[in-house]
Amino acid sequence: MKNQKVKEVEAVKISILAVLADWLKDSEASVDSYHDGALESAIKYAKAEVKQEIGSLLEEILEMDVQQLEKTYMEIGEPKGKLPF
């Protein structure tokens, strides 16, 4: 019974994260060419780009299977000299 509830909660969390990823990927810069200056416009475009990138990364993580996640996690925990970068 408890395992079933845990699985249900995890499924809800994953679907909420999927909605967040879609929302982030679909974000746009709302630039008003009449009132925004060049700096304000650049900031809005950069902010939208960052949101879209985060959404793409989140979506990529959600598509990973358990083995990929464990491998990625283990790479993060490795000493600095053993990392590929």
List pLDDT tens digits, range 51-82.
Answer: 999 999 889 888 888 777 777 766 666 665 66
What are 6-48's pLDDT values in tens digits?
Answer: 777 778 888 888 888 999 998 888 888 888 889 999 999 999 9
In the chain, what percentage of residues exceed pLDDT 90? 22
* Rounded Cα–Cα distance for residues 60 and 68 (Å): 11
Q: What is the pTM of this model?
A: 0.67
Contacts of 57-66 with CB under 8 Å at 24 or more apart are 58/17, 58/20, 58/21, 58/24, 59/18, 59/21, 59/22, 59/25, 62/14, 62/17, 62/18, 62/21
At 44, list the tokens. 């809005």
Q: Are 44 and 29 in contact, with CB atoms under 8 Å apart?
A: yes
